[in-house]
């Protein structure tokens, strides 16, 4: 059970950076002509990509990015005005596009991870093991409540919540992603995304509700983005040794197993509708949001795509502070067993 000191932390913060014209020009000049192939070639070049990002930004912005991963109080970082590829193809409704087709966005995305000390990762059975996931209204998934769905609201969630959180041991499965980022290539002003900081959410709950949410009385199912169905009995909240609270709530994949658990879940979900807690974000092309996946819950409102090739298109990337939380799949240390 979480103690009162942990419950009253509420110290999380959101940082926001704006990229200048000069910095954007430098990034575009450095990355626009990249000719790398599959995921592994991009990962092999991450040191160079990180150094290039570093040499394109002012010192203050470099410091903010470098400190993000290790600072417990910083839980979300929004970087606005990054350059994107000028010759984009139609929105990839099938959900896949080689990173070589978006060299500027791919290079900047991995470069910022490298500057922040974040290891890019993927999972064996999620997104076909590919590094980048294209968050688009996929033609075969419009009715799903997932990153490839669109018509229905995609409720508040932590990605891949059935996997072990930071403060839980790794045995047969890789850990839950610690970081999640979304970079906007095409946007839709009708579509509202939002996120809620965990400590602010917890501060609105009673100690009794928090205690119930900390018990392993919830069935957490594997998300639709995985190619296999699986459920685990787990707590929604758990505190680490440093007193930081982590979360695995997923609106679409959480089922209470006792009456007390159900009552606590109702109270949690009531606060998730609290407009005072929600931080709204309407993406613009070139926006990059990085969140600490287990410290923030995020959602997206439903929308009807136009199917005209210019629909909303974001690129998602997962990350870890260390590959020690990954059980490597076959010959790739960046693809985790799940």
Tens of pLDDT along 151-161? 667 789 999 99
Mean pLDDT of the chain: 90
Q: Among 168, 190, 231, 244, which Cα is nearest to 7's? A: 244
Q: What's the confidence (pLDDT) of residue 146?
A: 62
Q: Which residue numbers belong to the known binding site for Fe cation?
A: 298
For the chain, list the domains and their CATH numbers.
Answer: 12-197+279-336 (3.60.130.10)
User: What are residue 80's DSSP bridge partners?
Assistant: 18
Cα–Cα dist 183/187, whole Å: 10
Helix axes 103-116, 59-68, angle to 10 degrees: 70
Q: How confident is the model at residue 121 (pLDDT cuts 50, 70, 90)?
A: very high
User: Residue 30 gets which letter from DSSP?
Assistant: H
Q: Does the reported pTM lie above 0.85?
A: yes
Q: Among 114, 111, 85, 116, which Cα is nearest to 98's? A: 85
Q: What's the confidence (pLDDT) of residue 41?
A: 93
Q: How confident is the model at residue 144 (pLDDT cuts 50, 70, 90)?
A: low
Q: Which residue numbers belong to the known binding site?
A: 298
Cα–Cα dist 158/143, whole Å: 20
The maximal CA–CA distance of the chain, rounded, in angstroms, is 59
């Amino acid at each position: 059970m979480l103690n009162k000191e942990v419950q009253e932390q509420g110290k999380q913060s959101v940082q926001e950076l704006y990229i200048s014209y000069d910095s954007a020009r430098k990034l575009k000049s450095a990355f626009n002509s990249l000719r790398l192939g599959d995921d592994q070639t991009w990962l092999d070049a991450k040191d160079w990509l990180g150094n290039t990002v570093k040499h394109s930004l002012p010192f203050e912005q470099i410091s903010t990015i470098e400190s993000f991963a290790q600072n417990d109080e910083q839980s979300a970082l929004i970087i606005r005005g990054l350059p994107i590829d000028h010759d984009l193809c139609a929105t990839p409704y099938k959900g896949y596009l080689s990173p070589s087709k978006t060299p500027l966005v791919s290079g900047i995305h991995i470069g910022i991870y490298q500057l922040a000390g974040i290891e890019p990762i993927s999972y064996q059975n999620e997104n076909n093991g590919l590094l980048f996931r294209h968050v688009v209204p996929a033609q075969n998934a419009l009715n799903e409540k997932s990153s490839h769905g669109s018509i229905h609201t995609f409720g508040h969630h932590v990605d891949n919540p059935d996997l072990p959180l930071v403060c839980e041991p790794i045995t047969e499965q890789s850990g839950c992603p610690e970081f999640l980022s979304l970079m906007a290539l095409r946007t839709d002003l009708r579509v509202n995304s939002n996120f809620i900081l965990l400590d602010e959410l917890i501060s609105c709950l009673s100690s009794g509700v928090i205690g119930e949410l900390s018990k392993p009385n919830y069935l957490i199912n594997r998300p639709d983005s995985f190619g296999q169905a699986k459920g685990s009995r787990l707590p929604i909240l758990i505190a680490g040794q440093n007193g930081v609270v982590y979360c695995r709530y997923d609106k679409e994949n959480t089922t209470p197993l006792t009456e007390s658990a159900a009552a606590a879940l109702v109270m949690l979900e009531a606060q998730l509708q609290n407009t005072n807690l929600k931080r709204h974000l309407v993406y613009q092309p070139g926006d990059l949001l990085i969140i600490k996946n287990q410290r923030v819950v995020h959602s997206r409102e439903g929308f009807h795509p136009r199917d005209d090739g210019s629909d909303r298109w974001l690129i998602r990337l997962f990350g870890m502070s260390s590959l020690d939380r990954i059980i490597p799949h076959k010959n790739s240390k960046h693809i985790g067993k799940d």
